[in-house]
Amino acid sequence: MNYLKYIALLFTCIMLTAACKKDDEETTPPVTIDETPYVLEYGALPTPELPPDNPLTEQGVLLGRMLFYEPMLSKDGSQSCASCHRQNDGFSDFNQFSVGVEMLPGKRQAMPVFNLAWHSNEFFWDGRAERLRDQSLEPIQDPLEMNETIENVITKLNASEMYKDQFIRAFGSDEISSEKMALAMEQFMLSIVSYNSKYDKYVAGEVELTESEERGRILFETEYNPFFPEFSGADCAHCHGGTNFENDQYMNNGLDSDASMTDMGRAEVTNNPDDNGKFKVPSLRNIAVTAPYMHDGRFETLEQVIDHYNEGIQESSTADQTVLNTKDTGLFLTDQDKEDLINFLKTLTDETFLNEALYKSPF
């Protein structure tokens, strides 16, 4: 009798376990693709031309964000993209040259990562990456940076169910490839937008600039005038104009003479000597938090940057004529002018962007 009761109890347990397992299977749906579009917020900035073959989706942007903060992308698991592109530094690096996993310094200052949706052509200081998706994979493989192979990264990601599930949500398959990685990181970087600075609020009529900031704004926008120095400006908008404060061009801003030029810049890509010493003009948004400055991080402060344009222009065969025009006379800036100009530049800092939760690590 006891034996029969034992058999009955065992049978009941088996049936209950099977029922629970069935219930779990029914209440845990399989991971599937989620093509919900990502809503890009950009305030009063012009509508960007996003890549038609890589539309932003919530899951694609999330996957790119995960990869951006993922140290498995580096050889020893110690660094991620965010190691050299810190949000509180405007997604740039406070070091003159970032140090990679082999403790070797890079060759150029890390460029800020924001508003890339408004950069219509190539990426990096020299423009060697045609598209943002191409740029995203280079630091992983650079011996001076993360020093890893794409094959090893894929192997590591494949060992993670979390990543396999996220690739399904973003692309409909758990197959992990360099192409999908690049597309996802492109999506995340395109989603990083800065448009809510004090200056933007001033343009919208929501706040007023101080007297000093307003004088700085006028200096920023007024052209250099050698004939009437009292009406001459800093002529910054020549290169840093428009709503994104850049011109999407490669220019030589008189940092070095031909004899002292050690970095050929754009010419390393085009092999055209007319491009010697030319570098991509960066946005001045958030400029107060993205020190050091220039492609080689040679200037630690905004004061040093303004002093360069005011009195430090070096003549070279490829320097932009606008900066060469000021070489002998300078910009006629007084100490008060410099202070006003810096105070205006500080109005381009976007605290919302610097603290936006959607750009922080998802882990």
- For the stretch 133-182, pLDDT in tens is 999 999 999 999 999 999 999 999 999 999 999 999 999 999 999 999 99
Q: What is the 3-state secondary structure (H, E, C) of the chain?
A: CHHHHHHHHHHHHHHHHHHHHHHHHHHCCCCCCCCCECCCCCCCCCCCCCCCCCCCEHHHHHHHHHHHCCHHHCCCCCCCHHHCCEHHHCCECCCCCCECCCCCECCCCCCCCCCHHHCCCCECCCCCECCHHHHHHHHHHCCCCCCCCHHHHHHHHHCCHHHHHHHHHHHCCCCCCHHHHHHHHHHHHHHCCCCCCHHHHHHCCCCCCCHHHHHHHHHHHCCCCCCCHHHCCCCHHHCCCCCCCCCCCEECCCCCCCCCCCCCECHHHHCCHHHCCEEECCCCCCHHHCCCECCCCCECCHHHHHHHHHHCCCCCCCCCHHHHCCCCCCCCCCHHHHHHHHHHHHCCCCHHHHCCHHHCCCC
Q: Are residues 216 and 163 in the same domain?
A: no
Q: Are residues 278 and 325 in the same domain?
A: yes
Range with lowest mean pLDDT among 27-41, 144-158, 200-214: 27-41
Q: Are residues 185 and 213 in the same domain?
A: no
Closest CA to 192 of 283, 73, 101: 283
Q: Are residues 113 and 149 in the same domain?
A: yes
- Among residues of the chain, what percentage have pLDDT more than 70? 93
Q: How far apart are CA 211 and CA 188, in angstroms?
A: 38
Residue range 27-35: mean pLDDT, rounded: 90
Q: Are residues 282 and 203 in the same domain?
A: yes
Residue 91 lies in a domain: yes
Residue 18 has pLDDT above 60, yes or no: no
| Pair of tokens at residue 150 | 């794409």
Assign 1 a pLDDT band (cuts: 50, 70, 90). very low
**pLDDT value, residue 7:** 52
196 close to 43: Cβ distance less than 8 angstroms = yes
Higher-scoring residue by pLDDT: 213, 11: 213
| Pair of tokens at residue 336 | 């008060």
Q: Are residues 215 and 188 in the same domain?
A: no
Residue 255 lies in a domain: yes
**pLDDT value, residue 29:** 86
Q: Are residues 251 and 130 in the same domain?
A: no
Provide the domain limits for residue 202.
198-347
**pLDDT value, residue 14:** 53
How much is the pTM? Answer: 0.91
Residue 312 has pLDDT above 60, yes or no: yes
**pLDDT value, residue 5:** 52
Assign 121 a pLDDT band (cuts: 50, 70, 90). confident
Residue 315 lies in a domain: yes
Higher-scoring residue by pLDDT: 3, 183: 183
β-sheet bridge partners, residue 105: 99
Residue 197 has pLDDT above 70, yes or no: yes
Residue 283 lies in a domain: yes
Q: Are residues 218 and 88 in the same domain?
A: no
313 close to 273: Cβ distance less than 8 angstroms = no
Measured in whole angstroms, how far is the alpha carbon of residue 11 from the centre of its chain? Answer: 61
Residue 358 has pLDDT above 80, yes or no: yes
State the total domains in the chain: 2
β-sheet bridge partners, residue 92: 86
Residue 138 lies in a domain: yes
**pLDDT value, residue 25:** 47
Q: Which amino acid is at 43?
A: G
Residue 198 has pLDDT above 60, yes or no: yes
Residue 12 has pLDDT above 70, yes or no: no
Q: Are residues 109 and 230 in the same domain?
A: no
Range with lowest mean pLDDT among 23-37, 82-96, 233-247, 341-355: 23-37
232 close to 226: Cβ distance less than 8 angstroms = yes
Q: Are residues 140 and 269 in the same domain?
A: no
Tens of pLDDT, residue by residue over 274-302, are 999 999 999 999 999 999 999 999 999 99
Assign 17 a pLDDT band (cuts: 50, 70, 90). low
Residue 282 lies in a domain: yes
Assign 28 a pLDDT band (cuts: 50, 70, 90). confident
Q: Are residues 251 and 230 in the same domain?
A: yes
- Looking at every residue in the chain, the average pLDDT score rounds to 93
For residue 314, give the CATH number of its domain.
1.10.760.10
Q: Are residues 251 and 164 in the same domain?
A: no
Q: What is the 3-state secondary structure (H, E, C) of 26-56?
A: HHCCCCCCCCCECCCCCCCCCCCCCCCCCCC
Residue 194 has pLDDT above 80, yes or no: yes
